[in-house]
Structure 1
Amino acid sequence: MITRLSDLKLKDIRGVIFDLDGTLAHSNPDFAGLRRELGIHSGTDILAHVDSLSAGEAQAQALEIVHEYERQSSLNASWIDGARELIECLRAKSLPLAILTRNMPEAAQITIDKLGIDIELVLTRYDAQPKPHPEGIHLICQQWQLAPADILYVGDYLFDLQTARNAGSRCALYCPEIIPDYAQAADLLVSCYHSLIKAWPK
């Protein structure tokens, strides 16, 4: 099922950018376990916490913990139902596709290779300032020579909505089970990718 929360018309979308973990792939790290190991509270931005540590052994140790969680989750990645078909559908419409993830390059590549995700343009947190900063979307739009307003960003978390809003793009929130409080900021709520495929104009 899809729920429209704005005047978004899918026929006007000229390019689609996807988040990776939790959006295309079941590959989210165990964030609760990671925060416990780092000694930070639930809801704390992990990357912001690591950046806040003074450069040196403490920061290097925290980064290694984060990287190991990311690697392990990527090794166990699996497709989210309908995601592969959605990519094929959008490819058939000749829409340019990209991935913008907060993940590190190595872990993102493990997931992409493991699942055979057919998207070449991939930006990680090492290629652009991490979400919710809009730099990643703006860099992709520059490469495509498209305006951010013509782009649909598909993600599964608050940072994805904020990134799209900060960039001036439209946003579809993938929420297959519980609809989160922040969902009202999305243009489109998607509980099933097969429904989104059917809703996209032929």
Structure 2
Amino acid sequence: MSITINSHVDFNQIKGVIFDLDGTLANSNPNFEGLRAELGIKPGTDILSYVNSITEPTQAEQTHAIIKHYELESSHGATWIAGAQQLMAFLTSLHIPQAILTRNMPEAAHITLANLNLTVGTDFDPLLTRFDAKAKPHPEGVKRICEQWQIKPANILFIGDYLFDLQTAHNAGTKSILYTPSVIPDYADQADIVCQCYLALIDYLRAQLQT
């Protein structure tokens, strides 16, 4: 099935949508396996937590440089994920505000957005990176967006492709959608909705508006 409902979300009550960027809107995820291997850390290790734990200045500087290289490399080749552009257009047609909250660095995020021809303030607003708010799964970014929009977290839908996105939604008190086009991960049950196809999601949400 393209859509799996773990917990009902009343789309009529959704007043704003927050997207993750890499792997959610754009094919731009860095090669995390290669990055962890180059850093000499175990698979699955939170890279940002690892780098923040480094106290030796030279090692910290070298690690930041490696991470920056991987993030910039992946952003330069960013392309739209199938159906994501249509989903954003659908939300725009309903006058639902959209934002992007990413763990990426600002420079890489802006390169990715340029490749997608998306503009902050026109297509969505705001864009928050890990330099603007505490990195996901901390809820600070969501809370800041809710304050800007003057919308309660319960009326926000958070869409992402990884565990941190679901944890962020839970920590902030928003609804969540996990986008996972192929393999369903073992943490998928933490999402309100599991989506393998954005076009199917649009049909599902549109049907709710007609009932």
Interval of TM-score (by shorter of Structure 1 and Structure 2): over 0.9
Residue 39 of structure 1 is matched in structure 2 by: 40
Q: Deviations over 1:27-57 (max 9, x none)?
A: 0000000001111000000000000000511
Distance 1:63 1:52 in 2: 12
Q: How does 1:56-95 map to 2 (within 5 A)?
A: 56-95=57-96
Distance 2:106 2:12 in 1: 32
- What is the TM-score normalised by the length of structure 1? 0.98
Q: How does 1:165-176 map to 2 (within 5 A)?
A: 165-176=170-181
Q: Does 1:28 align with 2:29?
A: yes
Aligned length: 202
Residue 141 of structure 1 is matched in structure 2 by: 146
Q: Does 1:197 align with 2:176?
A: no
Q: Deviations over 1:137-196 (max 9, x none)?
A: 000000000111100000000000000000000100001111110000100011100011
Q: Secondary structure at the match of 1:127?
A: coil
Letter of the aligned partner of 2:5 in structure 1? R
Distance 1:173 1:86 in 2: 14
Residue 187 of structure 1 is matched in structure 2 by: 192
Distance 2:203 2:163 in 1: 25
Q: Secondary structure at the match of 1:171?
A: strand
User: Are the counterparts in 1 of residues 39 and 63 from structure 2 also a CA contact under 8 Å?
Assistant: yes
Q: Secondary structure at the match of 1:132?
A: coil
Q: Which has the larger displacement, 134-143 or 8-17?
A: 8-17
Distance 2:8 2:27 in 1: 30
- What is the TM-score normalised by the length of structure 2? 0.94
Q: CA deviation at 1:75?
A: 0.1
Q: Could you list the runs of 5+ residues in structure 2 that have no partner in the other structure? A: none
Q: Does 1:122 align with 2:127?
A: yes
Q: Does 1:2 align with 2:7?
A: no
User: Are the counterparts in 1 of residues 166 and 178 from structure 2 also a CA contact under 8 Å?
Assistant: yes
CA RMSD of aligned residues (A): 0.8
Distance 2:159 2:55 in 1: 34
Q: CA deviation at 1:7?
A: 2.4
Q: Could you list the runs of 5+ residues in structure 1 that have no partner in the other structure? A: none
User: Are the counterparts in 1 of residues 97 and 124 from structure 2 also a CA contact under 8 Å?
Assistant: no
Distance 1:103 1:188 in 2: 24
Q: CA deviation at 1:12?
A: 1.1
